[in-house]
């Protein structure tokens, strides 16, 4: 009985190997391609490019108090004017240097500031809320303002 067991075991192994053989209609290159690229035909979306300017919904004139929006006043210390690449305050200007993330109503970016004879870098988040009527500004880094700063859209 032992003599029959080994040849039967060998025949069974050979039969199992023969089941997975490709048929004559498929070329080796085609079967290799199917193995190498299992995701053929599936497209992955390309990442959304980060913009190079401040989103339009954030641009404009923003005041901390209603008097900041009065164009007749030249002492509007809480006025923030945002352009495509600049943040303009009463005594300083921040020029956009890089954008970390952005959407239509929010941006996280770095700015190079100048004002009162000084220069400094600051990371800022600008977030428009309340259907475009409120801007929340947050500063990050050394000497950053503690907590968020709230602005209202100037009419």
User: Are residues 87 and 142 located together in one domain of the fold?
Assistant: yes
Could you list the residue range(s) of the whole structural domain that residue 110 is in? 60-153
Write down the pTM of the prediction: 0.68
Contact between residue 45 and residue 37 where contact means Cβ atoms under 8 Å apart = no
User: Does one domain contain both 73 and 26?
Assistant: no
Is the same domain home to 22 and 65?
no
Distance CA 95, CA 121 (A): 10
Residue 116 above 60 pLDDT?
Answer: yes
How many domains would you assign to the chain? 2
My answer on whether 69 and 105 are in the same domain is yes
Please report whether residue 52 resides in a domain.
no
Residue 80 and residue 133 in one domain: yes
**Looking at the domain assignment, is residue 49 inside a domain?**
no
Report if residue 43 sits inside a domain: no
Q: Check residues 78 and 26 and name the one with the higher pLDDT.
A: 78
Query: What pLDDT digit, counting tens, does each position of 12-65 carry?
Result: 443 444 444 444 444 444 444 444 444 456 666 656 666 799 999 999 999 999
């Amino acid at each position: 009985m032992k003599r029959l067991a080994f040849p039967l075991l060998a025949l069974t192994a050979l039969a199992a190997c023969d089941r997975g053989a490709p048929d004559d209609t498929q070329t080796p290159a085609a079967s290799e391609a199917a193995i190498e690229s299992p995701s053929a035909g599936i497209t992955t979306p390309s990442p959304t490019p980060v913009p190079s300017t401040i989103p339009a919904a954030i641009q404009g004139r923003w005041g901390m108090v209603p008097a900041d929006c009065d164009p007749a006043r030249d002492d509007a210390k809480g006025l923030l004017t945002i352009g495509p690449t600049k943040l303009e305050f009463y005594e300083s200007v921040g020029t956009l240097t890089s954008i970390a993330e952005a959407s239509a109503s929010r941006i996280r970016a770095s700015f190079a500031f100048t004002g009162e004879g000084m220069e400094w870098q600051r990371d800022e988040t600008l977030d428009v809320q309340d259907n475009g009527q409120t801007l929340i500004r947050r500063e990050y880094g050394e000497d950053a303002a503690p907590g968020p700063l709230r602005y209202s859209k100037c009419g």
